[in-house]
Structure 1
Amino acid sequence: MLIKTFGSAVQGVSAYTITVEVSVSAGTKYFLVGLPDNAVKESEQRIESALKQYGYKIPRQKIVINMAPADIRKEGSSYDLTIAMGILAASGQISDEKVSSYMIMGELSLDGSLRPIKGVLPIAIQARKEGFKGFILPAQNAQEAAIVNNLEVIGVNNILEAIEFLDGARQIEPLVINTRELFSNTADQYAADFSDVQGQENIKRALEIAAAGGHNLIMIGPPGAGKTMLAKRLPSILPPLSMHEALETTKIHSVAGKLGEATSLLTTRPYRSPHHTISDVALVGGGGVPQPGEISLSHNGVLFLDELPEFKRTVLEVMRQPLEERRVTISRAKTSIDFPANFMLVASMNPCPCGYYNDPSKECVCGPGVVQRYLNKVSGPLLDRIDLHVEVTPVTFDEMTATRKAEKSAAVRERVMQAREVQTQRFSEMPQIHSNAMMPSQMVKEVCQINEAGRTLLKTAMERLGLSARAYDRILKVSRTIADLAASEDIKIEHLAEAIQYRSLDREGWAG
């Protein structure tokens, strides 16, 4: 008897359906074909042990299992339940009436219980798209799949529950989640708030500009000045995620297996802070089975690199292309996978190895040329792609002990959202552009027009600082954001002057 069951494979952040054809006929031996990897081949032992726990068995007949399309490699242990249900239906141990109506996925333990799997959200989206009635999967993953509406999500704890459900002996109520309600109830719940930060008003202003225009930012200052603390609070002033952004971000975390059992939908912007010992593959993504890296996990959020010069040079250089193109392409001999990577880069660094170069209160002990060599660990092309360079100075005792409450993140976010609304209208005919930072060079001339006084000021700055053409574009984009925050249609000279001052690392005086 021939039975078809359906599973799914994830490639990048998209899923495609795998048809598992099971034929049980006279003869002996067990054949599993269709380019399975070792984890799939080992499913026979897991299935046999799991079925024995509940009085079922793999029949001692000729069993041929084909996983189609046969030219695509099938990887992982999540096909255990798919294959097991196919064997039971093809051998007449359960009814075959419902089997082909459901997407079935899950990894089996030897005792018949089910382990959670990765990539559930893209699989559920694909299952609904292809018209499946429902999705049978481990109960631990049910919350994640249930955010896809118009799809019955049947969470099971063990193989017996799946057998009895498909055989009609057990009723399992589909898990239903009101996605809109969940999204509105949990959106923008951040533990850290700008009101916790005393002083540092100039840095808060720079972070507000960065958030309003989606600009990359680097903070330079001595240890303990508050660089990390300020970076952690940046997501709290970014505009709330839209439903589309939330689903897109959740898909990436689902594929990487980063969603917890209780998490179904990411409703706050991700904040990723990898250690400086990270490898280039872990940062950008890749591996034998291409997985998203930290760059993609921070999609629609913030990637914070603390102590930037301590990262390996190769790690920093792989970020240059994703910063420009806002996606990561992993190329292999037979395939090429794109992971989205629309993130804000926020970096921090000490000005020198000891940390106190240019510090007003402590003396730098670094020798001649040491400061310049330290700064040269970060390449010029990478610094060119960072729009705002900000010097952070330590907070004074009077500022730390002040009783006046600082401005809350919610108030700053309101101004940021108003500036983003202006940009949304500006780029309404270009859906791929969402903020000033994403403007291509040809559009900068059109959108960021300046008067004669502004041109003179910018020319002087370009000559004195030795700025590149890319830095010129960055200054214009930042000045456009500053004008948006001020609700000004034109870029005024004060907007341009403020944007120019955010090029600290281009100035003389950092030469060491």
Structure 2
Amino acid sequence: MPIGHAWSVALLGLDGRVIEVEADLGGGLPGMKLVGLPDAGLREAKDRVRSAVRNSAEPWPGEKLTLGLSPADLPKLGSGYDLAIAVAVLAAASTVPSTRLPGTVMLGELSLDGRVREIRGVLPGLLAARKAGMKRAVVPVHSLFEAALVEGVEIFGAGRLSEVVAWLRGEDVLTRPDKPDVSTHNETPDLADVIGQPEARWALEVAAAGGHHVLLTGPPGVGKTMLAKRLPGLLPSLSLEEALEVTAVHSLHGSLSRTAPLITLPPFVAPHHTVSVAALVGGGSGLAMPGLISQAHRGVLFLDEACEFDAPRLDSLRTALEEGEIRIARAKAAVCYPARFQLVLATNTCPCAPAREIDCTCTPMAKRRYLSKLSGPLMDRVDLRVQMRPITAMSTHSAAYESPEPTASVRDRVLAARDRATARWSAHGWRTNAEVPGPALRREFALPRDTTAILDRGLDRGTLTARGADRCLRIAWTLADLAKTPRPEPDHVAAALQFRARSAAA
């Protein structure tokens, strides 16, 4: 009897591999065996598929059935292979023709009554299928909203296994997706709501223009959280490639919006200080899932009350801040998730957090213990450090309240600075000043010695690390882009060094 073939997709992180599902009938007593490194959830597919086929009014073969998932040495996790397994069995039994199966991937979990349930990771799975040359895909009908984002693959949605069987027999009963909504919904809060704080507003503009990390320090109620929430509104909208990359992470996490699945604005993620390390950077048993830093990819990760986070949680960010990705190894496989985000830290200056510094009742030891959560290696990776001051007047006639700039005006300057940076670095594959490696800044784009003299003095005195000097150069290039000058000048380098001056929390 011929062997039935169907195809599905296995995900290892955001990377996918097309899996061939083979079904062989005969050669022994009735039974069913599944091979190819299935996990516990996939082993249970034998019972789900049998019930789904029988409850879809199709005969179940009464012979020995061997199911193979190839490549056999690749771990297979989850229930997304159910639909492909059912189709392969029916094709092996000659219940359905196999003419439409070559070039088609099947994704979906089967319920016992034959319904096709939605699964996570449909978008990255279809992107991997398209890359492998597959032409068609059958997905759960409730996953069509994200499957429609993939161009170049013919998408069909199925609500029940019986519909897939009818489609394989030549009937056009499967649902086609509607055109996806790819419009940009700009609903970020406006920077005009923030009263005063000119230094912090300028630092936020520099951070947005160059992709730099920021630390905001100050008493409670001065606007640290307000400023952080307005940073995504200053950033440029995501390109289609970036939007698909970010949306794929959220698809794997299962948090996509059905009405507007394509994420076109930089995401804003603000975890609570009780978050676990696994939830923050990614983890879990079996195969690691993406964490909050990957959900903040191409956006902003905001850690409010940063000194309330345990030191291991904060230090777990160090590698991702430097490399823009996180690699997580587990017993079954190692995965890599993107994590190129902008980090915004906000903290009080001490545990008692008085409105005025003179009212502080903390001992020097208590202050030191509180601020020590922000370790030296972590702070060396934070480019901009701002000490915010209390607001002294709320009157509409005060200088602190005079015509604060709206987001639109600041964003225009940020986009213009980013365009200059992109034109300069595009040949090397970098998009922002923060992504440029230190060796390139010191060799190919080296500044005159008199421009960087202040950095040389800092290195000589030990007040600046080599990494800190590189980050000062990146900030200087951003300041030059905002000033519309072709290269940083000594004043830009000095201002960059001042941004990195150790604040009360550093």
| Preserved CA contact (<8 Å) 2:287 2:333 | no
Mapped partners of 1:491, 1:128: distance in 2: 44
Structure 2 equivalent of residue 483 of structure 1: 480
Letter in 2 for 1:116: E
Displacement of 1:346: 0.8
1:474 corresponds, among 471, 475, 478, to 471
Mapped partners of 1:334, 1:35: distance in 2: 10
Mapped partners of 2:31, 2:222: distance in 1: 69
Letter in 1 for 2:371: L
Letter in 1 for 2:205: E
Structure 1 equivalent of residue 379 of structure 2: 383
Indicate whether 1:284 and 2:286 are aligned: no
Displacement of 1:355: 1.4
Q: Spell out the pairing of 1:310-349 with structure 2 (5 A cutoff).
A: 310-332=308-330, 335-349=333-347
1:229 corresponds, among 207, 226, 248, to 226
Structure 2 CA distance for partners of 1:162 and 1:385, relative to 1, 3 Å: same
2:235 corresponds, among 234, 238, 247, to 238
Structure 2 equivalent of residue 31 of structure 1: 33
Q: Secondary structure at the match of 2:428?
A: coil
Indicate whether 1:159 and 2:161 are aligned: yes
1:163-185 Cα offsets, whole Å, 9 max, x none, are 2222223433532536xxx43x2
Mapped partners of 1:61, 1:136: distance in 2: 28
Q: Spell out the pairing of 1:232-311 with structure 2 (5 A cutoff).
A: 232-287=229-284, 288-311=286-309
Mapped partners of 1:327, 1:460: distance in 2: 33
1:434 corresponds, among 411, 431, 436, to 431
Letter in 1 for 2:232: P
2:413 corresponds, among 412, 415, 423, to 415
Structure 2 equivalent of residue 117 of structure 1: 119
Displacement of 1:350: 0.8
Q: Secondary structure at the match of 1:480?
A: helix
1:315-354 Cα offsets, whole Å, 9 max, x none, are 1112111111112122345643222221111111111101
Displacement of 1:450: 5.3
| Stretch deviating more after TM superposition (490-499 or 15-24) | 490-499
Structure 2 equivalent of residue 149 of structure 1: 151
Displacement of 1:230: 1.1
Structure 1 equivalent of residue 16 of structure 2: 15
| Preserved CA contact (<8 Å) 1:448 1:477 | no
Q: Secondary structure at the match of 1:189?
A: coil
Structure 1 equivalent of residue 394 of structure 2: 398
Indicate whether 1:216 and 2:213 are aligned: yes
| Preserved CA contact (<8 Å) 2:163 2:173 | no
Q: Secondary structure at the match of 2:322?
A: helix
Displacement of 1:373: 2.1
Letter in 2 for 1:79: Y
Displacement of 1:303: 0.9
Structure 2, unaligned runs of 5 or more: none
Q: Secondary structure at the match of 1:491?
A: coil
Structure 2 CA distance for partners of 1:12 and 1:400, relative to 1, 3 Å: farther
Q: Secondary structure at the match of 1:472?
A: helix
Identity over aligned residues, as a percent? 40
Letter in 2 for 1:499: A
Q: Secondary structure at the match of 2:225?
A: helix
| Stretch deviating more after TM superposition (386-395 or 487-496) | 487-496
| Stretch deviating more after TM superposition (32-41 or 233-242) | 32-41
Displacement of 1:284: 1.6
Displacement of 1:362: 6.0
1:183-213 Cα offsets, whole Å, 9 max, x none, are 3x22x51332212223222211110000101
Mapped partners of 1:396, 1:473: distance in 2: 37
Displacement of 1:458: 4.6
Structure 2 equivalent of residue 190 of structure 1: 187
Displacement of 1:510: 6.6
| Preserved CA contact (<8 Å) 2:288 2:330 | no
Letter in 2 for 1:245: E
| Stretch deviating more after TM superposition (205-214 or 163-172) | 163-172
Displacement of 1:135: 0.6
Mapped partners of 1:499, 1:350: distance in 2: 23
Q: Secondary structure at the match of 1:110?
A: coil
Structure 1 equivalent of residue 5 of structure 2: 4
Displacement of 1:253: 1.7
Indicate whether 1:367 and 2:341 are aligned: no
Structure 2 CA distance for partners of 1:55 and 1:422, relative to 1, 3 Å: same
> Given the two structures, how large is their TM-score scaled by the length of structure 1?
0.91
Structure 1, unaligned runs of 5 or more: none
Displacement of 1:105: 1.2
| Stretch deviating more after TM superposition (124-133 or 148-157) | 124-133
Mapped partners of 2:186, 2:316: distance in 1: 32
Q: Secondary structure at the match of 1:97?
A: coil
| Stretch deviating more after TM superposition (411-420 or 280-289) | 280-289
Structure 1 equivalent of residue 98 of structure 2: 96
Mapped partners of 2:110, 2:19: distance in 1: 18
Structure 2 CA distance for partners of 1:400 and 1:164, relative to 1, 3 Å: farther
| Preserved CA contact (<8 Å) 2:249 2:294 | yes
Displacement of 1:3: 0.8
| Preserved CA contact (<8 Å) 1:299 1:340 | yes
Structure 2 CA distance for partners of 1:59 and 1:211, relative to 1, 3 Å: same
Structure 2 CA distance for partners of 1:156 and 1:262, relative to 1, 3 Å: farther
Mapped partners of 2:217, 2:51: distance in 1: 59
Mapped partners of 1:399, 1:63: distance in 2: 80
Structure 2 CA distance for partners of 1:497 and 1:155, relative to 1, 3 Å: same
Indicate whether 1:175 and 2:172 are aligned: no
Query: How many residues get paired?
Result: 500
Q: Secondary structure at the match of 2:212?
A: coil
> Given the two structures, how large is their TM-score scaled by the length of structure 2?
0.92
Letter in 1 for 2:423: Q
| Preserved CA contact (<8 Å) 1:20 1:65 | yes
Displacement of 1:387: 0.3
Letter in 1 for 2:385: H
Mapped partners of 1:354, 1:295: distance in 2: 29
| Preserved CA contact (<8 Å) 2:417 2:478 | yes
| Preserved CA contact (<8 Å) 1:190 1:268 | no
Letter in 1 for 2:299: G
Structure 2 equivalent of residue 207 of structure 1: 204
| Preserved CA contact (<8 Å) 1:59 1:91 | yes
Displacement of 1:160: 1.9
Q: Secondary structure at the match of 2:50?
A: helix
Q: Spell out the pairing of 1:47-86 with structure 2 (5 A cutoff).
A: 47-86=49-88
